[in-house]
Amino acid sequence: MDVLFGNLGEFLTRFGGTIGLFVCSAIASLILGVILAAMRVSPVPAMRATGTVYVTLLRNTPLTLVLFFFALGFTKLFFYLPFFLLAVIGLSLYTAAFVCETVRGGISTVSEGQAEAARALGFGFTQTLTLVVLPQAVRSVMPPLTSVQIALLKNTTVAAGFSVFEAGGFYRAVNERGGSTLVALLWVALGFIVLVIPLTVLQRRLEKRWSVAR
């Protein structure tokens, strides 16, 4: 308890950093992921190929390596950016590949008749996708998408290995003040459990409420 209350400010700031990183990356990865998914089902071969190559590359690269590049290589190659932004870019690029695959899986759960009816009404690809298929895919996509975002929340700790603003680095601050590293890390673990549980509950609820018999 002493370890937590003696360093409560530090603990909360760091979890604030984690949540900030999570929210920014979640929004960016959702936008990019949906665009990639649209590219992968589009009628343009070049777009499909680009989407496929992107997803294949990013899904088969360890996140640590992605962040390794952004933490240590990016400034060398391009220009200076604060690490928070670099971490957001790295996490979003990585997570977008998983979002894309989830959304694409959701698109395939919408029954073919829906898209066929849309085409019969004279809708083009963009209209079919945005007005008919995607709104219906949202329902079946929500639960797996929440899993992807929970994974993202946990993945923010990888960024802690490269910098210090994040919850994963809490133990270092405690250690410097002579506190027990073990206890500090147990508190961090507990903090994550507390953050993940509401998301899991939300996921179960969405699953129950939105599951439809097709």
Q: Give, as ranges, the residues between 130 and 159 that touch other proteins (CB under 8 A).
A: 133, 144, 147-148, 150-151, 154-158
How far is the C-alpha of 142 from the C-alpha of 150, rounded, in Å?
A: 12
CB of 82 or CB of 109, closer to other proteins: 109
Q: Does 64 bind other proteins (CB under 8 A)?
A: yes
Nearest to 87 by CA among 147, 23, 33: 23
- Closer of 84 and 125 to other proteins (Cβ): 125
Residues 4-33 that bind other proteins (CB under 8 A): none
CB of 52 to other proteins, least distance (A): 11
Name the residue nearer to other proteins (CB basis): 138 or 183: 183
Q: Of 5-13, 51-59, 85-93, 203-211, which segment contacts other proteins by CB under 8 A? A: 51-59
Exposure string for 166-203, b = 16+ CB within 10 A, e = fewer: bbbbbbebbeeeebeeeebbebbeebbeebeeeeeeeb
Q: Which of 32, 86, 101, 203 binds other proteins (CB under 8 A)?
A: 101
